[in-house]
Chain A
Amino acid sequence: MNAFSNTAAVAPAFPAASDERLLIPPAVEPRKTGTRRLALGRTIPFGALIGPALLLVIWSIGSIAGLIDPRTLPAPWSVVGTAIDLIAEGKLQHHLMTSAWRAAQGLVFGILIGTILALISGLSRLGEAIIDGPVQIKRAIPTLALIPLLMLWFGIGEGMKVTTIALAVLIPIYIQTHSSLRSIDSRYVELAQTLRMGYGEFIRQVILPGALPGFFLGLRFAVTYAWLSLVVVEQVNATSGIGYMIDLARNYGQTDIIIVGLVVYALLGLASDGIVRFFQERSLSWRRTLAD
């Protein structure tokens, strides 16, 4: 410590940063400059809602004007009415919970297994030799093509459904996490060596945070894949869940219930993607990207 004690004795070669900070004005409106801005402009508030709202308007007008046959596509308000009825009877909640629980289980197992495999194979040559090949083979077979085999192995119960979802989820998690573990900039590895970091600390401070963007990218794919496989397994063989509800409605030609089911799928997909993005932005706040 003694080497640091006489700080005041030497005139600073640079002014203290705190002075500079006072000079920085608070966030201001972007100014016009002569140059063309290549990054995107300012974000539009609730911009994501404009497109869907437009579709809804067209749908409503089409229904009122009688341009859309209700048997093909019922009016928005009759879909809402059906949804209210389904909720009042308690059916929608029941199916929704079943579906969400299946997806959540499949996601958790898939994410855990995918991450663990990626770590083993990303952090050791032997691990890669053992794990990477089988995962790449699994990747080449569409998960949905495995359903017949999984049905023979696990029956048609929840086990088969959760396994199918987990198998679909672990692939993007594995691929993205593994590749970002392996593509850590070698300059950071050198830095860690010169700072004499231990292996454990190197993994914690350099490798894992560096691989986080890849993991989140994989996670966003994973969530999409989870819903996708959910839809399929629920229509293959189920006695409850949104997919079952839709399949049943098809048998009776109840287009409005089908639409309710689809809207629920859309909402689930959007909500889960939103949750992932929330955590992504919080964990990766050190990054500056084009979207900022």
Chain B
Amino acid sequence: MASHLGGLSGAPVVRVESLVRSFGPRTILDGLSLDIEKGEFVALLGRSGSGKSTLLRALADLDDKVSGSGRLETPDKKSVVFQDARLLPWKRVLENVVLGLDLPEAAERGRVALDEVGLSGRENAWPVELSGGEQQRVALARSLVRDPELLLADEPFGALDALTRLRMHDLLRQLCARHQPAVLLVTHDVDEAVTLADRVLVLDNGAIAADIAIDIPTPRDHGDRRFGEIRSQLLRHLGVETKPVLPV
């Protein structure tokens, strides 16, 4: 994924300029600018309440009731993965995956997508019959079956246990390598951001306070020295002091 870093491919997929969003008197996003290149994986960190979800919802066109200004360019083909899997309980798994997909080969594509997330054989299950991790994998399949140019994910693994989360990281990495969407992943987890992303942003005071390219080859090792340096750098931006990294 790091190979997309150069951004030689021309126009960015996402272009945000001077974006302002406010709720009543409180301005949450205050002149935020951001570009995301084609196929680039960007992670967005920030304190709770800093406006990460607000930004993501603006990119997803879900904030028509929020007042604001600015320029916003996003591709038509985009998918959203929410923190909850958000499956329709009255649709079977496969129907959920191909929901709203108006193609003759929709069912076949849905099956392939379910196979990719390791859920072939569960096409006819009801969502209540799946575990939380399985439901979130269905949500991933539902997003990817649309071949998005932009994948927006708001803490998609926030509700999962640590082990499932690690496996989801592997899965997400593989899927992104194959489908090559640009990704904006909102997360609380600094390690998750550094493990997955080509570039990590920190949102603070309504604007991008830090923009750090992750120059570590994949797969990335949490114990790696460079990993540790970037982690402490990000934590400082997030207002958390850490012990200095000891030279190895």
Q: Is the CB of A187 within 8 A of B84?
A: yes
Query: Chain B contacts of A12 at CB under 8 A?
Result: 118
The 0/1 profile, CB within 8 Å of B marked 1, for residues 266-277 of chain A is 000000000000
A201 to B167 alpha-carbon distance, docked (Å): 35
- Selecting from A16-24, A65-73, A175-183, A235-243, the interface stretch reads A16-24
Query: Chain B contacts of A201 at CB under 8 A?
Result: 100
Q: Is the CB of A17 within 8 A of B121?
A: yes
Instruction: Answer yes or no: A188 CB below 8 A from chain B CBs.
Output: yes
Contacts A7-B116, A18-B121, A187-B82 given; indicate if A210 touches B90 (C-beta within 8 A): yes
A17 to B121 alpha-carbon distance, docked (Å): 6
Q: Is the CB of A3 within 8 A of B179?
A: yes
Contacts A18-B121, A193-B62 given; indicate if A13 touches B171 (C-beta within 8 A): yes
Report the minimal beta-carbon distance from A204 to chain B, rounded to whole angstroms.
Answer: 11
Q: Is the CB of A17 within 8 A of B118?
A: yes
The 0/1 profile, CB within 8 Å of B marked 1, for residues 185-197 of chain A is 0011011111111
Query: Chain B contacts of A76 at CB under 8 A?
Result: none
Contacts A4-B113, A193-B61 given; indicate if A15 touches B118 (C-beta within 8 A): yes
Interface centre among B84, B118, B134, B167 (most CB of A within 10 A): B118
Query: Chain B contacts of A86 at CB under 8 A?
Result: none
Q: Is the CB of A14 within 8 A of B117?
A: yes
Q: Is the CB of A6 within 8 A of B90?
A: no
Query: Chain A contacts of B177 at CB under 8 A?
Result: 10
Partner of A16, one of B62, B100, B118, B178: B118
Q: Is the CB of B122 within 8 A of A287?
A: no
Q: Is the CB of B178 within 8 A of A288?
A: no
Contacts A1-B105, A205-B99 given; indicate if A288 touches B128 (C-beta within 8 A): yes
A6 to B245 alpha-carbon distance, docked (Å): 41
Instruction: Answer yes or no: A206 CB below 8 A from chain B CBs.
Output: yes
CB-CB nearest in chain B for A191: B86
Q: Is the CB of A16 within 8 A of B86?
A: no
Q: Is the CB of B147 within 8 A of A286?
A: no
CB-CB nearest in chain A for B99: A195
Contacts A1-B105, A4-B109, A287-B89 given; indicate if A10 touches B100 (C-beta within 8 A): no
Partner of A286, one of B61, B78, B126, B168: B126
Q: Is the CB of B100 within 8 A of A195?
A: yes
Instruction: Answer yes or no: A212 CB below 8 A from chain B CBs.
Output: yes
How many pairs of A and B residues are in contact by the CB < 8 Å rule? 96
CB-CB nearest in chain B for A212: B90
Partner of B167, one of A14, A192, A206, A284: A14
Query: Chain B contacts of A4 at CB under 8 A?
Result: 109, 112-113, 116
Query: Chain A contacts of B107 at CB under 8 A?
Result: none
Report the minimal beta-carbon distance from A167 to chain B, rounded to whole angstroms.
Answer: 31
Chain B, range 53-108, C-beta contacts under 8 Å to A: 60-62, 78-80, 82, 84, 86, 88-91, 99-101, 105
Contacts A13-B167, A201-B100 given; indicate if A209 touches B86 (C-beta within 8 A): no
Instruction: Answer yes or no: B229 CB below 8 A from chain A CBs.
Output: no
Query: Chain A contacts of B180 at CB under 8 A?
Result: 3
Query: Chain B contacts of A21 at CB under 8 A?
Result: 121-122
Q: Is the CB of B100 within 8 A of A14?
A: no
Q: Is the CB of A286 within 8 A of B89?
A: yes
Partner of B86, one of A3, A15, A18, A188: A188
Instruction: Answer yes or no: B115 CB below 8 A from chain A CBs.
Output: yes
Instruction: Answer yes or no: B174 CB below 8 A from chain A CBs.
Output: yes
Chain A, range 249-287, C-beta contacts under 8 Å to B: 284-287
Partner of B178, one of A3, A194, A205, A285: A3
Report the minimal beta-carbon distance from A7 to chain B, rounded to whole angstroms.
Answer: 6
Interface centre among A193, A206, A285, A286 (most CB of B within 10 A): A286
CB-CB nearest in chain B for A2: B147
A-B pairs with lowest CB-CB distance, top 6:
A14-B118, A18-B121, A195-B100, A13-B171, A13-B170, A197-B100
Q: Give chain A's interface residues, CB within 8 Å of chain B.
A: 1, 3-4, 6-7, 10, 12-18, 21, 187-188, 190-197, 201, 205-206, 209-210, 212, 284-288
Task: Taking A13-B167, A190-B82, A194-B61 as given, write out 12 further A-B residue pairs in contact, using a Cβ cutoff of 8 Å, ordered by the A residue number.
Answer: A12-B118, A13-B171, A14-B119, A16-B118, A17-B121, A191-B88, A194-B62, A195-B99, A195-B100, A195-B142, A210-B88, A286-B90
